[in-house]
Structure 1
Amino acid sequence: MEWTSTILAIAALVFFFQALTWKTRAKNKSLPPGPRGLPILGNLLMIGTKPHHDLRRLARKYGPIMHLRLGLMPVIFVSSPEAAELFLKTHDLVFASRPPQEASKYISYNQQNLIFAPYGSFWRNMRKMCTLELLSSHKISTFRSMRKQELDLLVRSIRDAAYSGVAVDLSSMVTSFSTDVSCRMVIGKNYNSDDFSEKGFGATVRETMRIASAFNLADYIPQIRGLDLQGQTKRMKAIGYCQGF
């Protein structure tokens, strides 16, 4: 009896997601060509550990503008310079906004920063403020001495390591240099390695980058977000809490 109930529940779940797929497909009959997908998962299983190779293979078959369904989310892939120009230049305002993601919700203040905010008056005002207060020629010149100080520290560290015959991690040192320059420009001070949280500022930044770029199934099947099957939401909330303090 328990097995029968489980099978019926699974069948109902599959039918529910498939109905959502049919509804989406009916609304978008003019979509570009693309491969047929599986119920619920769509074309996710066609994308392996080297997605650029898999997408190139599919584009050879379906053309430079291709439609895939990743989970329940319709996605358009562009793979030619001419098509890219249409999306990035000719009709750039139509495609200027980023789709909502769990990472941007919890880490980027519900998409309220310059990178993830949807295109509109808020984003334009934020870009204007950033350009005037941080990226103008006057501001760049103002921070010149500070950048020179941080660069001198970087070169001195590399030189001391060379004299001592010690191997250096250039990637880590350049990342620290970039972080220190950004903090001094925006906040006015350097953060020590143990600031920002018990994990440290650098560790928090690295964890933010890792979790924001990781595959999150809830972004492709929004109906299961509440289950947090991969534990991603819990980690995102922890990072957002650290950033808030």
Structure 2
Amino acid sequence: MKKRSEYLPPGPPGWPIVGNLLQLGKNPNESMWALSQKYDPLMTLSLGMKTAVVVSSSEMAKEIFKTHDKSFAGRPVLEAVTVLSHHKSSIVFAQYGDYWRKLRRIATTELFSTSRLQALQHLRRDQGLNLMSSAIFSKNFFDPNNPDSAELRNTFTESLRLAGIPNLADFYPFLRFLDPQGVSRGVTVHNKRLHKLLDVFIQDRLAARRRGVDLP
């Protein structure tokens, strides 16, 4: 029986523990392009304890993302987005399957259908960043004159910033419980605050419905 590594495409040799992380440098996209010129448009990299297959040609990208898209529909989950189990309920981070397809159907029907987009055309024109919040909650989340909106915007922005930090726990899963960079702790604080702020908008909308107010 062949070892798992024998099924993987070729790639540069890595160092113990860190793998190829040090070879990526400050500009990983440029480093990976240079490595692909030496090895192959489809190559294997070891990123800490994670194995990654890098695609760097249009032909190979078509094979993976179009011809065999369902076979490669899974996605790695960053440690930061596992906070409060967001990776299980988000259309952005949930794994491909029945639940994700259900979320996509809801988004297609309730947010992106032709009739819905036409009905909300004036919001797209006037609101800009407030489009999604207006479509879902009939409120502007990014009103500069509203302190609650400012807090919501800042909380959301900080959560995204923390989630985008290169996190050692993503490359070395055994470090998750230590959270060495405090990413998960920070995201937890901001996401709980975000949930609290969103709950206010949700309760206001439910109360308006109970009063018979017609909302978009």
- TM-score normalized with structure 2 length: 0.83
* Candidates 135, 149, 166, aligned match of 1:185: 135
Which 5+ residue runs of structure 1 have no aligned equivalent? 1-24, 151-176
Distance 1:228 1:99 in 2: 18
Aligned to 2:212: none
* Mapping of residues 44-63 of structure 1, within 5 Å: 44-63=21-40
Whether the 8 Å CA contact 2:25–2:31 is kept in 1: the answer is yes
Matched, 1:80 2:38: no
Whether the 8 Å CA contact 2:91–2:100 is kept in 1: the answer is yes
* Candidates 83, 94, 104, aligned match of 1:117: 94
- Bigger radius of gyration, 1 or 2? 1
1:146 Cα offset (Å): 2.5
* Candidates 229, 233, 237, aligned match of 2:184: 233
Matched, 1:34 2:48: no
Whether the 8 Å CA contact 2:44–2:51 is kept in 1: the answer is yes
Report the secondary structure of 1:189's partner residue: coil
Aligned to 1:203: 154
Distance 1:66 1:147 in 2: 42
Count residues with an aligned counterpart.
Answer: 192
Aligned to 2:69: 92
* Candidates 146, 171, 176, aligned match of 2:123: 146
Distance 2:84 2:13 in 1: 34
1:100 Cα offset (Å): 2.2
Query: What is the letter of the counterpart of residue 141 of structure 1?
Result: Q
Matched, 1:194 2:127: no
- TM-score normalized with structure 1 length: 0.73
1:36 Cα offset (Å): 1.3
Matched, 1:213 2:169: no
1:107 Cα offset (Å): 6.4
Which 5+ residue runs of structure 2 have no aligned equivalent? 197-216
Query: What is the letter of the counterpart of residue 55 of structure 1?
Result: M
1:149 Cα offset (Å): 3.4
Query: Structure 1 vs Structure 2: percent identity of aligned residues?
Result: 35
